[in-house]
Amino acid sequence: MMQLKTQNKWIVCLLMAAIVIQAFTNCSKADSADNDDGTPRAGFLTGIVKDQAGNPLEGVRIFLDHSIFFNSNITGLTNSQGKYAIKVPTGSWYAFAMREVEYHGKTYSFYLHPDHSAGFGGEGAVRNFIWKLSGAMPEPLSGHYGGLITLDNFPGVYIEAREIDVVLTPMGPLIDGSQGEVLRLQAEDGYTIKDVPIGRYRLTATYDGKPVSFRRWNSDETFVEDYELNFEPQIAAQCDNCAALEYYWEP
């Protein structure tokens, strides 16, 4: 009798092990990021993430945000091929992708650009993302992918920032490894220069044909006409991926 009970226990254990193995196998197949035909899979969000040169990006965080309930995120990461697959619960969701990149000793965070920004539900969806250094973000996001430069006048300097002609010359590769280009810009709103690809720049500027000097905002640094511009990942209570500057000009 004891031997029969022992045999029954072994049979139960084997059956339970088989169920666990089968469940694990099914889960692994369901969560596979292989979806090369680009068609939606019911109950899943899938896609691929690349940079602007077409290279796949590994380790990019994909997250689903519920359209109604705040902070109900579901996340996943891209694999070595830039692919991902995330199980989608019942509800209405938006998909986002974020990438963290170290550049000159600082870590920057970026939203990536989706090929479609519309919401979706349990029917599943495909959302591919590209890491863009500039351009407007689609709704439900707002703002730009590029960095922000704020310009404040030194007390006693009463020239409009919108009338300053700013030239940004890349000093080495941009944050994505591309070479960038010389930018000639103005603070059209009188205070900010928007959507600048994150990189390290040599900043020079003129007003009324004479050079304008710059320094870091709210600092005791010396004003210089040839300024090395470095973006900050965050300036507390002000902005992300930005540079805050103060300018000086003598008639």
CA distance 195 to 43: 36
CA distance 151 to 246: 6
Contact 83, 34 (CB under 8 A): yes
Residue 78's CB is within 10 A of a number of other CB atoms, namely 24
CA distance 224 to 104: 22
Provide the CB-side half-sphere exposure for 136 (13 A, CA): 4
Residue 67: predicted pLDDT: 78
223, 90, 201, 89: which is closest to 155 by C-alpha? 223
Residue 34: predicted pLDDT: 56
147, 151, 171: which is closest to 161 by C-alpha? 151
Domains and CATH numbers, the chain: 44-131 (2.60.40.10), 147-248 (2.60.40)
Residue 72: predicted pLDDT: 65
CA distance 233 to 237: 12
Phi, psi dihedral angles at 7 (to 5 degrees): -65, -40
Could you read off the pLDDT tens digit of each residue along the chain, which spans 251 residues?
Answer: 434 344 444 333 333 333 233 333 333 333 455 556 678 899 999 999 999 999 999 999 999 998 776 566 789 999 999 999 999 988 899 999 999 999 999 999 999 999 999 999 988 999 999 999 999 999 999 999 999 999 999 999 999 999 999 999 999 999 999 999 999 999 999 999 999 999 999 999 999 999 999 999 999 999 999 999 999 999 998 999 999 999 999 98
Phi, psi dihedral angles at 204 (to 5 degrees): -130, 155
**Confidence (pTM):** 0.82
Residue 106: predicted pLDDT: 97
Residue 36: predicted pLDDT: 60
